[in-house]
């Protein structure tokens, strides 16, 4: 990736993950700066990465060719609107990781001429195992798409969606998805303890099983359904467990839950866009 000047507005967990990912992949710290209203966040970021961190957005953006917006969704309008004049002059690429804020709202508050990429990342980016979906407005060039993708690939895999509405499905699947797996792991570990395993053993067996299953799914040529069938021996223990899940319609419950998350993502996008 061409080494352009990148400014992070907001350097919380996700912002720091991206900064760390870029630097770990060889991006020069001198080409990165950040701004945050929180003194503790500034101190942590400066200490971890040895980059310049400021409390003034406009000053941090003077040399920025790429702006990564990582503030809380409810603070997006108040962050972007004072920067409109600066953006109209410098014309940076705006990469927004603010959940739920649509391209139309970002453009309205940041400037109609702004090239904007909207990203839905997820928290495993904090351990360089993220999954991010991106979409952009029609002012983003192919080169800018490549730059945006390179930034997000520094902490995991990326995929593009052409229709911004699909980001609501992405939010429900990969954005909220880690919590679903944590919940299942929580249940599995608790049940293991109820069956007599010590907590430490129950924990490591649960975590390593989840990791191993994910690794098999990632590296196998087979889909998850086939992998499930391969480890389900007729008349065996796995078959018995799955039979209970099927009887209790776990698949319907899970699908209903994911669809509820998608619906809420749609609602929040409308609320945040109207209120901000």
Same domain for 154 and 42? yes
User: Which of these three, 171, 186, 220, is where a domain ends?
Assistant: 171
Q: Is residue 190 part of a domain?
A: yes
CATH number for the domain harbouring residue 150 = 3.40.50.720
CA distance 65 to 93: 6
Which tokens belong to 118?
A: 């909207």
Q: Scanning the structure block, which residue is given the tokens 């080409």? A: 31
Q: Is residue 205 part of a domain?
A: yes
List the one residue out of 171, 131, 152, 135 whose CA is nearest residue 269. 171
Q: Is residue 126 part of a domain?
A: yes
Question: Mind listing the pLDDT tens digit for each residue in 39-82?
Answer: 999 999 999 999 999 999 999 999 999 999 999 999 999 999 99
- Residue 140 burial class via C-beta count within 10 angstroms: exposed 0-12, middle 13-18, buried 19 and up: buried
> At what angle are helices 13-24 and 39-49 packed, to 10 degrees?
10
Q: Which pLDDT band, with edges at 50, 70 and 90, does 263 fall under?
A: very high
pLDDT, position 2: 66
Q: Is residue 273 part of a domain?
A: no
Q: Tell me the residue range of the domain where 21 lies.
A: 6-171
Question: Mind listing the pLDDT tens digit for each residue in 100-157?
Answer: 899 999 999 999 999 999 999 999 999 999 999 999 999 999 999 999 999 999 999 9
Q: Is residue 270 part of a domain?
A: no
Q: Number of structural domains, the chain?
A: 2
Q: Is residue 276 part of a domain?
A: no
More confident residue, 243 or 268: 243
Beta bridge partners of 32: 6
Same domain for 150 and 237? no
Same domain for 185 and 87? no
Q: Which pLDDT band, with edges at 50, 70 and 90, does 197 fall under?
A: very high
CA distance 82 to 130: 32
User: Which of these three, 147, 171, 195, is where a domain ends?
Assistant: 171
């Amino acid at each position: 990736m061409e080494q352009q000047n990148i400014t992070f507005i907001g350097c919380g967990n996700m912002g720091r993950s991206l900064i760390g990912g870029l630097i770990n992949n060889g991006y020069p710290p001198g080409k990165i700066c950040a701004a945050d209203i929180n003194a503790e966040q500034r101190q942590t970021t400066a200490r971890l990465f040895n980059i310049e961190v400021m409390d003034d957005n406009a000053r941090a953006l003077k040399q920025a060719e790429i702006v990564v917006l990582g503030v809380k969704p409810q603070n997006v309008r108040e962050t972007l609107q004072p920067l409109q004049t600066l953006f109209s002059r410098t014309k940076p690429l705006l990469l927004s990781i603010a959940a739920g804020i649509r391209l139309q709202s970002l453009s309205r508050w940041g400037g109609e001429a702004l090239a904007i990429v909207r990203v839905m990342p997820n928290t495993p980016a904090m351990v360089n195992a993220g999954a991010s979906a991106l979409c952009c407005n029609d002012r983003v060039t192919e080169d800018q798409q490549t730059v945006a993708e390179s930034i997000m690939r520094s902490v995991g895999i990326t995929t593009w969606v052409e229709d911004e509405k699909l980001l609501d499905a992405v939010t429900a699947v990969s954005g909220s998805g880690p919590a679903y797996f944590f919940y299942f792991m929580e249940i599995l570990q608790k049940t293991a303890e109820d069956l007599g395993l010590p907590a430490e053993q129950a924990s490591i067996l649960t975590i390593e099983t989840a990791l191993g299953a994910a690794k098999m799914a990632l590296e196998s040529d087979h889909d998850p359904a086939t992998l499930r069938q391969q480890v389900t021996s007729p008349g065996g223990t796995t078959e018995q467990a799955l039979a209970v899940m099927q009887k209790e319609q776990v698949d319907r419950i899970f699908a209903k839950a994911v669809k509820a998350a998608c619906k809420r993502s749609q609602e929040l996008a409308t609320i945040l866009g109207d209120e901000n």
